[in-house]
Amino acid sequence: MNSSSFLNSQQKEAVTTTQGPVLILAGAGSGKTRVIIQRIAHLIQKKMVPPQQILAVTFTNKAAEEMRERLQEILSGKHEGVHLSTFHALGVSLLRKSINHLGYLPNFIIYDKKDQFSVIKTIMEDHDFDDTGLIDAKSVHFEIGQAKSIGNDPEVFLDQQESQQKQIIGKIYRHYQKTMKGCNAIDFDDILNLTLSLYDKCPEVMDSLTERFRYIMVDEYQDTNRIQYKLLRHLTKQHRNLCVVGDDDQSIYGWRGAEVRNIFEFEEDFPEVKFIRLEQNYRSTQLILQAANQVISENTQRMPKKLWSEKQGGEKLDWLMSENEAEEMEAVTRRIRTKILQHGRRYLDFSILYRSNFQSRAVEEALREAKIPYRLVGGISFYDRQEIRDALSYLKVIYNTNDEVSLHRIINTPRRGIGKTALVQANTCCQEMHLPLFKVMVQARKYERIHKVSAFTMELFAGIINSYQQRFANEPLGEVFKELLDEVGYIRFLETQSGEPKVRKRRVMNVLELLRSVQTYSEQNPEASLQHYLERVTLFTESDSDTDDKANQVAIMTLHSAKGLEFPFVFMIGMSEGVFPNQRSIDEGREDEERRLCYVGITRAQQEVIFSMAKYRRRFGENIHQQPSRFLLDINPELLTVPIFGEATEESKKERRQESRSAFFTQFKHLEAS
């Protein structure tokens, strides 16, 4: 696609089919983002649709911003009014206007995963749930998230569960929702559930929205869950102009609620649907695509499509077999260094993909040993660092003083003489007076239960928060944030912490980087409020990472993190049974999603794919012999530089596939019944 105006015949059909429901099956590297952009431009330029009537939804802020920039290039500002956002950003914008109908205040705060853990742990401690030995905060958080992804509230969850463990989780879930509402806080799953509640409980409030958006497009449709699907049904109930773009072969997020059946069942809900397949791939060589097609064609349930490329031939897929995991990584790093020294490649041309996070340790150690620079994609987010969470907690409390998770985080950080005893005394007053903690702190000296010195300090602290509420409302965000950090002494606090000097310096630099980002945001958006900035940060996802992808470093990441990316050379390591596919997926009959993950990995490569594995891996003091991944055995040996010798016969492979098919259909029927 050298010319900016070129579209192949299938892409052109997708762009110009604008009325009624459309399902665009867009294979990996087939130019789907280009199609969405051109379709929006076609609606505005050729069909004369007002931009305000167009809604385009994707899954990351980064993708939405890229679409916005590309539309600007094509339409030179005539796209103003098109709503481009993530599902969650759309939900938040609606809730800010109408959440009062559901008993919340408009200045609600959004809790991230760590905030949620804090609430759950507090509930478990306060109600002695942690003494049962049956549950932990992580499993509770997962179960609550799973329940919310299908729209089940605590009472529905409790009605459906019989085990003692699940009953306890249901009770914690009930306390969790009550606590969150008391803090005027919601979590990510609440955003869409509450938006859906507005449609169910206050349809008249949402009528204007349904009227406004006449043309709706959804990217990465295979990643939608049932709540997002129901929301789309509401939005399109009048005009049915819904265009969804997705690829069931790249549905790899079932573990976080994504429902591939949303694609499979689209025709049932929209029988007049127009199917369009984008099968020409512009990324990879034909040989790589042949291998990818062979792997994915073994799946038990998929919508038929076959990727092809004009880049005929290409390098055969390579295969590295080593004795153990250390030697496997030595072989990988040696191959990278050889290509750089002999063929003039750059480090940023390479990526190393693995199935599970635990594999990253060996990868990082080997790259450091080989003095190969690398970047970890999808690791700890900048916004998850302790010092960043502390600094942002000040902003969250200033915005919403009912946010008690953030309030407890900063109340004595830096230390200001409000100890645990004083906090217990203040919380007792809260319970007796039925008041939030901050309101008690504002007039702490009037409560005899609270020690006088601590009460005075609480009032001083509350006074700082109140004064900055006024300042943030009337002055530039960047300037006020800098003065806030100075007044509370947070950077001085970091500089005097114990530990290694380089760690202290890094933490200070991180906070200064946060300050710089607030100042830049404020300069670029002079009318933006504290609410707008906090929403931007809270809706930030791993896929929106600011990591410099132009830096000359090898990219290492899990296969899940690799989706949407591409590299000239892709190493897929640990390609053995029990590692990939992982053993749990094998045991639970979820081979199909693992196979899709393998397909995603292969199709990240532009020029070469190199598989690797170790014959033996060390586990619990023993050397375990490993077999090649079943996915590799589906690739025609003629596509490989050397044959992959596995102990699986054609007959045993057929048996495994039949078992997988049976497990899939059992699971699919169960989903249909529910």
| Unique residue bearing structure tokens 């005027």 | 184
**Degrees (nearest 5) of the Cα angle 594, 230, 116?**
70
CA 466 to chain centre: 34
Question: Catalytic site residue 200?
Answer: no
Residue 579 pairs in a beta bridge with: 582
| H or E stretch at 374 | strand 374-376
Question: Catalytic site residue 323?
Answer: no
Helix ranges restricted to H, 99-246: 113-126, 137-149, 154-160, 164-182, 188-201, 203-212, 226-235
Question: Catalytic site residue 219?
Answer: yes
| Unique residue bearing structure tokens 């791993």 | 542
Q: Does residue 54 contact residue 83 with C-beta atoms inside 8 Å?
A: yes
Among 187, 220, 259, 593, the active-site one is 220
Burial (Cβ within 10 Å: 0-12, 13-18, ≥19) of residue 543? middle
For the chain, the C-alpha Rg in angstroms (whole number) is 27
d(C-alpha 232, C-alpha 242), whole Å: 8
d(C-alpha 378, C-alpha 363), whole Å: 15
d(C-alpha 66, C-alpha 207), whole Å: 30
CA nearest to 53, candidates 188, 211, 252, 278 = 211
d(C-alpha 562, C-alpha 555), whole Å: 10
Question: Catalytic site residue 469?
Answer: no
Residue 376 pairs in a beta bridge with: 556
The angle that helices 477-488 and 501-524 make with each other, rounded to 10 degrees, is 150
Question: Catalytic site residue 86?
Answer: no
Q: Does residue 31 contact residue 310 with C-beta atoms inside 8 Å?
A: no
d(C-alpha 594, C-alpha 584), whole Å: 11
Q: Which residues, in sequence order, are CB contacts of 526 under 8 Å at separation 6+?
A: 476
- The three-class DSSP label of residue 111 is strand
Among 17, 33, 469, 519, the active-site one is 33
Among 115, 130, 143, 219, the active-site one is 219
Residue 85 pairs in a beta bridge with: 57
DSSP per residue over 69-103, as a string?
HHHHHHHTTTTTT-EEEEHHHHHHHHHHHHGGGGT
Among 32, 375, 563, 595, the active-site one is 32
Among 60, 222, 250, 359, the active-site one is 250
| Unique residue bearing structure tokens 């191959």 | 335
In the chain, count H helices and then E strands: 29, 16
* DSSP label at residue 470: H
Q: Does residue 384 contact residue 114 with C-beta atoms inside 8 Å?
A: yes
d(C-alpha 602, C-alpha 406), whole Å: 43
- The three-class DSSP label of residue 152 is coil
C-alpha separations of 665 from 299, 301, 580, 588, 670 in Å: 12, 9, 22, 13, 8
Say which amino acid occupies 611: F
| H or E stretch at 580 | none
Among 230, 396, 507, 604, the active-site one is 604
CA 364 to chain centre: 23
Residue 572 pairs in a beta bridge with: 353, 611
Positive/negative CA dihedral, 556, 562, 567, 572: positive
Question: Catalytic site residue 190?
Answer: no
Active-site positions read 32-33, 219-220, 250, 604
